[in-house]
Amino acid sequence: MTLKNSCDACLETLYGLRRFGIILGLSTIRKILEGLGNPQNRFESIHVAGTNGKGSVASALSSILNAAGYKTGLYTSPHLVRFNERCCIGGRQISDKAVVESCEAIRRVHHGDREPTFFEFATAMAFHEFARQQVDWAVVETGMGGRLDATNIIRPAVSIISNISLEHQMHLGNNLAQIASEKGGIIKKNVPVVTGAKQKSVISVLREIARKRSARFYRFGEHFRIRRDGDGAFTYFGIDHTWRDLHSGLKGTHQMENAALALAACEVLRRDGTRVPLRHIRDGLAQNRWPGRLEFVSESPLVLLDGAHNLTAARILARFLSEELSDRKITLVVGILDDKPHKDMLGCLLPLCDKAIITSPRIGRALPPEELYATAKDGIEDIKIIPDVRLAVRHAIRTASPHEDAVCVAGSLYVVGEAKEALDGHF
């Protein structure tokens, strides 16, 4: 069997685990990792949770640690095109050979009383590969929540909770305080925590968890802040330092706040003895890339990909479109999952667009295009349904003026992933 066939077979088995759905809890992942010799204990780690921005924060920290000379692993989800994207080392996706070897290693160990979920299996693969390749650091993004998330088996040097809003209420709780309690579950005893939370109820919950666990607590706006200086530069007023003329490699003014969380985490690491020189912080932050988030993939016509997978993210995208693309006629290609507030999301985006194409990603949780259309048709005149994301994106590009129009693909990271796949080699 060729390597490609072996990798495809492993991934087919892995994707088959999605039939078990989402099962929160640590007993199964703990059993798997014990069978592997607890690989998660063989490297230093940083744990990142939150509703929005956690991937951007995680990738920034990974980029900074790489620039500082550390061999760094980055574990994120979901992937956009290839499974390998979830597990990167030194800024590069792991190889198909590594996927096969880590998959087979997990299959050989006892899983406990039930089969692992897709996310549990993938998390174990990442930790196994990080240990096998002897990374110095791993930056680990939670999948959902925190307290019972499969990643919450690590003991990090610092925990980060980017922000919190209503999401996954079936699993995490019906109000912000309950969701904050779940995400605050990543806070460990005597492990510092950095957060960008803004709501009083959320801050109160997180601060109390930190107090009970004797964890130093640092909050954006209280212990550290930023000042936007124009031309994409900003100044960071930190816990111990003031750093000027910083630049993020990611687009959007909101990325400066995400960068501030990464910078605060760097200060915590420095306080605790980790060598992270300022020149490497600058370089790593400027070099940071995070696909599918305000990502321009073409200039003629202008094509923008942004996950915008919940209401907060949709508002951020809407602000970017109004500030940066107000001189363009925008075609929105949009598909949304069934657990998202699609009416409010469309309400943010449609007023800024001239055309809309309603589509649907292949994942089973996608909202039927007809339901999206029923909401969208009252907000925009030029609208059509093209269920296949690949065909929807290509139609939008084919009918766009090369210099006057823009195509924006949004509503779900799954839609963005299929769009990237469709555009591979197109430009």
Question: Which domains, from first to last, does the chain contain?
Answer: 3-287 (3.40.1190.10), 295-423 (3.90.190.20)
Q: What is the pLDDT of residue 364?
A: 84
Eight-class DSSP state of 241: -
Report which residue type is found at 425: G
Burial profile 382-393: b = 16 or more Cβ within 10 angstroms, e = fewer: ebebbeebeebb
pLDDT digits (tens, 9 = 90+) for 277-317: 999 999 999 999 999 999 999 999 999 999 999 999 999 99
pLDDT digits (tens, 9 = 90+) for 119-141: 999 999 999 999 999 999 999 99
Strand order in the sheet with 233-237: 225-230, 233-237, 242-247
Q: Which helix (H) or strand (E) holds 407?
A: strand 405-410
Q: What is the pLDDT of residue 174?
A: 65
Are 359 and 407 within 8 A, CB to CB?
no
CA distance 251 to 320: 9
Q: Which residues contact 314 (CB under 8 A, 6 or more apart)?
A: 308, 344, 345, 348, 349, 410, 411
Token pair listed for 241: 């330092």
Q: What is the pLDDT of residue 53?
A: 92
Handedness of CA 239, 241, 244, 247 (dihedral sign): negative
Q: What are phi and psi of 400, to 5 degrees?
A: -95, 145
CA distance 143 to 79: 12
Residues of the chain under the 70 pLDDT cut: 1, 166-174, 425-427
Q: What is the pLDDT of residue 8?
A: 87
Whole-structure pTM value: 0.93
Q: What is the pLDDT of residue 168?
A: 56
Q: What is the pLDDT of residue 145?
A: 83
Q: Which residues contact 279 (CB under 8 A, 6 or more apart)?
A: none
Q: What is the pLDDT of residue 21?
A: 72
Q: What is the pLDDT of residue 134?
A: 98
Q: Which helix (H) or strand (E) holds 236?
A: strand 233-237
